[in-house]
Amino acid sequence: ITDIQCGSYIFMDGDYLEVLDGFLPALTVLATVISRPAPDRAVLDAGRKSVSIDRGMPKVVGITGAEVAGLSEEHTKVQLSGDALGLRVGQKVHVLPMHGDTTIAMHSHYFVVRERKLETVVEIAGRGCFT
């Protein structure tokens, strides 16, 4: 063993999902579709202040044809095709960060959900603690 990354293991961010089979992501940022400026585009209310991009663009989870096209400070631009063309303003979307560690440090709490039910809220003591 040459490397132990306990924090990343429990969350399985997008970076690890690309190289390890058999795991599902446990860390996403919940965003809302706030605009449909064109038939093939959507804008989400989560940007670089919510999702880090130091390991690449995040991914939209569970919606085939929704590809992140870019992030500003507070918004994510999503290119849509196929099934994703049905996204509606107000719809909730899960965004998978490629690097969980730096995304986690941007938030004050984890909202722990199991089977679509909130189980607990955990404070993130290290919020904003970048080194």
The verdict on residue 14 lying in a domain is yes
pTM score: 0.85
The verdict on residue 130 lying in a domain is no
**Residue 20: what pLDDT?**
77
Work out how many domains the chain is built from and give that number: 1
The verdict on residue 24 lying in a domain is yes
Query: What are residue 30's phi and psi, to 5 degrees?
Result: -80, 125
Q: From CA 53, how far away is CA 72, in angstroms rounded?
A: 11
| Distances from the Cα of 7 to the Cα of 62, 104, 115, angstroms | 24, 10, 22
**Residue 6: what pLDDT?**
64
Structure confidence by residue, pLDDT tens digits, 17-29: 777 777 778 889 9
The verdict on residue 16 lying in a domain is yes
Structure confidence by residue, pLDDT tens digits, 86-115: 999 999 999 999 888 888 888 999 899 999
What domain range includes position 117?
A: 6-123
The verdict on residue 67 lying in a domain is yes
Residue 88 sits in a domain whose CATH number is: 2.40.37.20
